[in-house]
Homo-oligomer: A and B are copies of this chain.
Amino acid sequence: MFSKQTYIQRRMELKKKFPSGILLFLGNDETGMNYADNTYHFRQDSTFLYYFGISMPGFYATIDLDSGEEIIFGDDYTIDSIIWMGDMPTVTSLAEKSGISKTETTGTLKKKLSKAENILFLPPYRAEHQIKLLNLLGIHPNEAVKKASIPFVLAVAEQRNNKTSEEITEIEKAVNTTVLMHRTAMRYAKPGMTEAHVAAKVAQIALESGGQLSFPIIATINGQTLHNHFHGNTIRKGQLFLLDAGAETPMGYAGDMSSTFPVSKKFTPEQRDIYEVCLTAHNSAIEALKPGVHFRDVHLLAARIIFDGLKNLGFTKGNTDDAIVNGAHALFFPCGLGHLMGLDVHDMENLGEQWVGYGGEPKSTQFGLKSLRLGTILKPGYVLTIEPGIYFIPQLIDLWQKNETNKQFLNFDKINKFRDFSGLRNEEDVLITELSHRVLGEPLAKSVAEVENERKFAFD
């Protein structure tokens, strides 16, 4: 936990944004995998962590905006439990650490809320939250997201988006563990291993740091499949290996990086050419980051570099500006340039991308741009990822070719020869500073020469 003063200060700022009502915070519970007591690792709700710092299941909190009263609701362990679990902190001592003097048992919450008129809560993203809202407020599970408070969402988003220096320190810890995960993979992966071998090694690094993974590892020779958590393939010489993985610190802050390296000692000439196009887009996008810049423009800058680079290699053709307006680059780069990062790897995605990433502004509906998770003007204190990629997705190639989508910008003959290329990206985590930006964490091998240098270790 941060110091008591941090949590007091955060809540004080939050309270300034509302005239009246009760803010209700739902902590997370344990989730059983295949029966109630065989649980996944516990993950507290990030907003609960942000304002109260308590990382244990079974807690609620309220802030009464009219009286200013703050209450932590939780139940102390019984002596029976303590025999099995050892000495456990009391609810009072946990509340005290976040600067709250009033605690109650969870059984009193419903009655407390029944007297209130204006109860504000955030959108539930776990089934357990929906049941809590049903039991506490009588809201049907299918109605709960609709009834969440948008002003509450916007207030939390504004506050959490502005990372403080103590948060940056914590994020950088996560990023440094993440760098180690990627460096280890580059030095470890060898032809004949399965993807699972590499993923397991990467997980080991995250876990031995005392934290967790910040999201499920992508470790694959099929980098073109963007949502891919299959690890069953044996990796072979000549293939590209794409790793997207990050660590979460014990306090809950995330790192998130991607790297792509050859399973062989060196990239093939074709791999190197396409890798370098993507890396140029990546580095240029980072260079463009500073306060006042619109993130959509940085995304489109990367798109342009990818389109031009692929034009030099014979995959694309025609006027680049027209191609970008028409979204032709999205055949190769169908996703967004990056996303906010903090206590969540996609920070506050649970609060709704349209509010957190777009401030309520409408999102593009164009294929490619519609997957951009962040569409606002950058401000100091934002932390975000930069992760352009180049992917050869056979199903998408076939679809576009059939529909003649953007055919004036695409050389499908050449593209089809690379149907089995797979895909690649680099990803780093960047802080927007007062005047510019800072890439977080120790440097990780990125250039072809640096990556091939790391790969030597695997073959020693």
> Quick one: which of B83, B203, B395, B399 contacts A393, CB cutoff 8 A?
B83
- A5-46 CB mask vs B (1 if < 8 Å, else 0) is 000000000000000000000000001111111111101011
* Docked pose: A227 CA to B80 CA in angstroms: 12
Across the interface, do B128 and A37 meet the contact criterion of CB distance under 8 Å? no
> Quick one: which of B34, B79, B127, B252 contacts A45, CB cutoff 8 A?
B34
* Docked pose: A31 CA to B194 CA in angstroms: 26
What size tier do the contact residues of chain A reach?
Answer: 35 or more
CB of A325 closer than 8 Å to a CB of B: no
Of the listed stretches A207-215, A284-292, A434-442, A444-452, chain B binds A207-215
Within 8 A of B (CB), among A166-215: 194, 196-197, 199-201, 203-210, 215
CB of A165 closer than 8 Å to a CB of B: no
Query: Assuming A34-B46, A38-B345, A227-B85, is B209 touching A196 (CB within 8 A)?
Result: yes
User: In the assembled complex, how far is the CB of residue A248 from the closest CB belonging to chain B, in whole angstroms?
Assistant: 9
Q: A84 to chain B: which residues have CB within 8 Å?
A: 225-227
Closest to A81 in B: B227
* Docked pose: A201 CA to B207 CA in angstroms: 9
Rank and list the top 5 A-B pairs by shortest CB-CB distance, nearest first: A127-B127, A200-B207, A35-B350, A200-B208, A86-B225
Complex A-B: 30 CB contacts under 8 Å: A32-B125, A32-B350, A34-B43, A34-B46, A34-B344, A34-B350, A35-B346, A35-B348, A35-B350, A36-B125, A37-B349, A38-B216, A39-B216, A79-B395, A82-B395, A86-B225, A86-B228, A86-B395, A127-B130, A134-B141, A135-B141, A135-B142, A194-B210, A196-B208, A196-B209, A196-B210, A200-B205, A203-B204, A203-B207, A204-B204
